[in-house]
Amino acid sequence: MVILEPALEESAVQQMINRSTEVLTKGEGKVNRVEKWGKRRLAYELNHRQEGYYVLFDVLADPAPMDELDRYRPAIEAVGDADVQSVAMRHIRPDELAIVLVGDADAILPALEGAAIGPITVAIGYNSRFVPVGASLSFDASTLTSLFAIFTYNNMTNGAQVSTIWFKDSEPIYIDTASWEGGTGGYGASSCPLEICLYEAGNYRVAIYVGEALKQAALLARR
């Protein structure tokens, strides 16, 4: 059983399978079958992950090709959110992005303009009712393992483009953008992954956009 980074694209998963199969067969091993089980929740947290992408290999091989597979696998597993974000930040500027909405403008624009995001609370966690845990505006970077922007929302429309952008010293370090599927009103949370944010000392800002409109922002410091 191989457990991969859950953020890997399907093409990267298939690349790992193809390369692993090639390594095993060249080493006179036999791959009886490969089954992609997909994303599943881990029994316990692993490398700050709650889930992984499971791939089952039914293999008959001597130790040599299996050792080669073990050397190759980390190179594929290491390609995750941090690598994609690092490349994106070198070529994409959030302040230069344009969001294109396709549809009836008379129906879309009023919905976006009426959307409301409540004040952001930054905390190290939250419970099942979205009550912040360890909320503050200043954090000890040496002890952080997680950080969340927690907020309320109202008058939202499913399908609207919602983007959460984390900045460090005015430079964007992480962009989380997706089509909204959270319903009209309630509570929400967004986190900056540890391997991207690193939680180093500095001045940080998190901002939430609905469409192109800045709806809410919060400042914080990591010392």
Average pLDDT over residues 121-135: 91
Same domain, 196 and 102: yes
Same domain, 61 and 131: no
Last residue of a domain, one of 79, 111, 138: 79
pTM of the model: 0.52
Same domain, 132 and 105: yes
Same domain, 50 and 141: no
Q: Long-range contacts: 41-50, Cβ < 8 Å, 24+?
A: 42/3, 46/3, 48/145, 48/146, 48/193, 48/194, 48/195, 49/5, 49/6
Assign residue 59 the CATH number of its domain. Answer: 3.30.70.60
Boundaries of domain holding 17: 2-79
Same domain, 136 and 40: no
Q: What are the tens digits of pLDDT across the range 32-51?
A: 888 888 888 777 766 667 78
How confident is residue 89, by pLDDT bands cut at 50, 70 and 90? low
Same domain, 118 and 56: no
Three-class SS string for the chain? CEEECCCCCHHHHHHHHHHHHHHHHHCCCEEEEEEEEEEEEEEEEECCEEEEEEEEEEEECCHHHHHHHHHHHHHHHCCCHHHHHHHHHHHCCHHHCCCCCCCCHHHHHHHHHHCEECCCEEECEECCCCCEECCCCEECHHHCCCCEEEEEEECCCCCCEEEEEEEECCEEEEEEEEECCCCCCEEEEEECCHHHHCCCCEEEEEEEEECCEEEEEEEEEEC
Most confident of the following: 92-96, 147-151, 172-176, 199-203: 147-151
Assign residue 162 the CATH number of its domain. Answer: 2.60.40.2550
Q: What are the tens digits of pLDDT across the range 1-37?
A: 777 777 777 887 888 888 888 877 877 778 888 888 8
